[in-house]
Structure 1
Amino acid sequence: MTKGHPHDTARDLMSAGAECIEAHETLDRAAQMMRDRKVGALPICGADDRLKGIITDRDIVVRCIAQGKDPSKVTAGELATGLVWVSADATVEETLNRMEEHQIRRLPVIENERIVGMISEADLAKHLPEAQLAEFVQRVYAGA
């Protein structure tokens, strides 16, 4: 893996202000939040405002609707997956390695035990050199 600028961190890559859906909220509410915010994933937080996982639009479709479940009755916490995150001061290389290792395309960024942002492929596309982005995409999608 090639390296980004040596001073870049996860904070430099992320989209700030990620809004959590609480674990007790239903999937229809999660879908509405995704629509309103024009995002494909939401971090899931508990009452303690700590990260419990992440839910994607694909999770809602595949793990709820396609299984005949009612999204107005299933909670985000029930589908919480991937308690994978990165520290805001992690290097770009550490961030990409974490995403590749877990074959994920979205990654919560944590600082002082609280979520401060999310990194998506769109964020990577804005900040990484084309060759580094292509290598990342090839590695993540090759394992998918």
Structure 2
Amino acid sequence: MKVKEIMTTRVQTVSESCTMKEAAEHMKSLDVGSLPVCNNSNKLVGVVTDRDMVIRGLTSEINSSTPVRQVMSSNPVFVSPDTGVHEAARLMAKHQIRRLPVVENNEIVGIVSIGDLAVRDIYVNEAGDALSSISESNNSMM
């Protein structure tokens, strides 16, 4: 099975000049914890998470009008629509992330989450293994 078969295609993104306040409002209205960040050409340039905003934003002299480019994670891990779901799960575990942007022709076309993998019965074990790897690393930092 390929990522394109399970990915969410209606992905909300923010521009790199979007303020932290605007990004937080988008996250709240969409009930999500991360947003892909694109440049003016709709090319993926980063991902901003609620954690980025708290850890990188609030611990620095940054305020709600600061552009997300200052707190986002640059060089995001992403996959193509033709990437297999097994590989997507492996990448999530390796990079300790729960969501992977899906990029085609340098434009974001979707996003696949650990939940997308878990709801497919045959990938429950891989999604669980990926989440376990992510969670173990997060717990070791506490």
Match of 2:126 in 1: 132
1:98 aligned to 2:88?
no
Tell me if structure 2 keeps the 8 A contact 1:23–1:76. Answer: yes
Among candidates 65, 71, 77, match of residue 79 of structure 1: 71
Q: Secondary structure at the match of 2:102?
A: strand
Identity rate of aligned residues, in percent? 32
Kindly report the root-mean-square deviation, in angstroms, between the aligned alpha carbons of the 2 structures.
Answer: 1.6
Per-residue deviation at 1:103?
1.2
TM-score (ref. length: structure 1)? 0.85
Q: Secondary structure at the match of 1:39?
A: coil
Write the letter of the residue equivalent to 1:76: V
Q: Distance in 2 between matches of 1:84 and 1:51?
A: 10
Q: Distance in 2 between matches of 1:136 and 1:98?
A: 8
Structure 1 runs (4+) greater than 4 angstroms displaced: none
Match of 1:42 in 2: 35
Aligned residues: 136
Q: Distance in 2 between matches of 1:49 and 1:41?
A: 17
Greater mean deviation of Cα atoms: 60-69 or 45-54: 60-69
Tell me if structure 2 keeps the 8 A contact 1:65–1:71. Answer: no
Q: Distance in 2 between matches of 1:62 and 1:137?
A: 21
Write the letter of the residue equivalent to 1:53: G
User: Compared with structure 1, are the counterparts of its residues 78 and 67 closer, same or farther at alpha carbon in structure 2 (3 Å cutoff)?
Assistant: closer
Aligned 1:43-82 pairs, distance under 5 A: 43-72=36-65, 74-81=66-73, 82=75
Relative CO higher for 1 or 2, CA cutoff 8 Å, sep ≥ 6?
1
Q: Secondary structure at the match of 2:37?
A: strand
Write the letter of the residue equivalent to 2:135: Y
Structure 1: state its 5+ residue gaps.
Answer: 1-7
1:111 aligned to 2:104?
yes
User: Compared with structure 1, are the counterparts of its residues 9 and 44 closer, same or farther at alpha carbon in structure 2 (3 Å cutoff)?
Assistant: same
Q: Distance in 2 between matches of 1:77 and 1:69?
A: 12
Q: Distance in 1 between matches of 2:11 and 2:121?
A: 21
Q: Distance in 1 between matches of 2:57 and 2:42?
A: 25
Q: Secondary structure at the match of 2:119?
A: helix
Greater mean deviation of Cα atoms: 86-95 or 96-105: 96-105
